[in-house]
Structure 1
Amino acid sequence: MSITYEEVRNFLYSESRALDDKQWDTWLGHYDKEAEFWVPSWDDDGELTTDPQSEISLIYYARRDGLEDRVFRIKTERSSASSLPEPRTQHMISNIELITASEHDAEVRYSWLTNSYRYKTTDTYYGSAELTLVRADSGELKIKRKKVVIKNDCIHHVVDVYHL
């Protein structure tokens, strides 16, 4: 049986909830060991960069171990983007599209909006995400590839994974 829209929706909600609840290990559990996580940047001509190996990216990890390092730095207060107090976030997901689906994998696109509060200031980040989901041997869905596009023109702080 193919991966269903309901499975995808529930999976995306679960990932967002883990970020909002600062359940970092649970959040990492949504990612396959070989997962690529990429946030391209906008170039001077207003076009997204297309190659994380040769162009600037806001965030790029070729494998999940990069995300694991990121979480370690967040949890141990060694993150340049986060400090005490940690920001409070609320992720909202909409326009979920199941582009293709089989019993083993799916291509998904969705829109997202995250409000982040820290130091008596609320910042809003928004954009879209494209991802490839795979069904693990355990039957659970895992993210194999995630590309997050931030549509904000101006970002006043260093962006971290919990902003997306």
Structure 2
Amino acid sequence: MTVTAVTQQDVVNFLYTEAKILDEWRLLEWADLFTDDATYMVPPIGDPEASPTESLFYIHDNRSRLQERAERLLKKEAHVEYPHSTTLRNYTNILVDDLDSDVIKVECNFATHRTKREVSDTFIGKSYYELVQQDGGLAIKNKKVILHLDSLRPHGKISLIL
């Protein structure tokens, strides 16, 4: 496997591509962005350093579980997201570290705007990524989403991928 130099712009473009894929509900393609040993986590609000063995996470998926999540959300039986919400994701303040190492660390702010059934919601927070080179491109080894909200109101749930 040939490892090529990764630039900060490569990382930014990768994140923007992830946002586009999610906004277009191409969830199976989104799942393919992850490595086989990947994790995707959303810890409880107000406890970003919580341990998944001691706290109830909103999401704590390994690679197979996030694939199942993507497949399930695309089915009509997933009534909470059928028809699909309209979303628009914005990633800002993207900070890239360790470009020359095996694992590239990325931190960014996000705002995910969602509208469904005449109700608009906005999820805000920070995402932390660990990216690796795989198959000639970048892949997500770990993604941790920290919500900067007081609560999940009015619905009390997360029915889409952040």
The answer to whether the superposition gives a TM-score over 0.5 is: yes
TM-score (norm 1): 0.88
Equivalent-residue separation in structure 1 for 2:112 and 2:99 (angstroms): 27
What is the DSSP-based 3-state SS (H/G/I as helix, E as strand, rest coil) of the residue aligned with 1:60? strand
Aligned equivalent of 1:143, options 140, 145, 151: 140
What is the DSSP-based 3-state SS (H/G/I as helix, E as strand, rest coil) of the residue aligned with 1:12? helix
- CA drift of 1:71 comes to 1.1
Aligned to 1:121: 119
TM-score (norm 2): 0.89
- Work out the number of aligned pairs and report it: 157
* 1:91 and 1:115 in contact (8 A); partners too: yes
Unaligned runs of 5+ in 1: none
Q: Which runs of 4+ in 1 moved over 4 A?
A: none
Distance 1:161-1:36 versus aligned 2 partners, 3 A rule = farther
Equivalent-residue separation in structure 1 for 2:105 and 2:77 (angstroms): 34
Aligned to 1:41: 44
* Percentage of identical aligned residues: 26
Equivalent-residue separation in structure 2 for 1:88 and 1:108 (angstroms): 26
Equivalent-residue separation in structure 1 for 2:118 and 2:95 (angstroms): 35
Aligned to 2:85: 87
Considering only aligned residues, what root-mean-square deviation do their CA atoms show, in Å? 1.6
**What letter matches 1:70 in structure 2?**
R
- CA drift of 1:83 comes to 3.1
- CA drift of 1:103 comes to 5.4
What is the DSSP-based 3-state SS (H/G/I as helix, E as strand, rest coil) of the residue aligned with 2:81? coil
Equivalent-residue separation in structure 2 for 1:83 and 1:47 (angstroms): 27
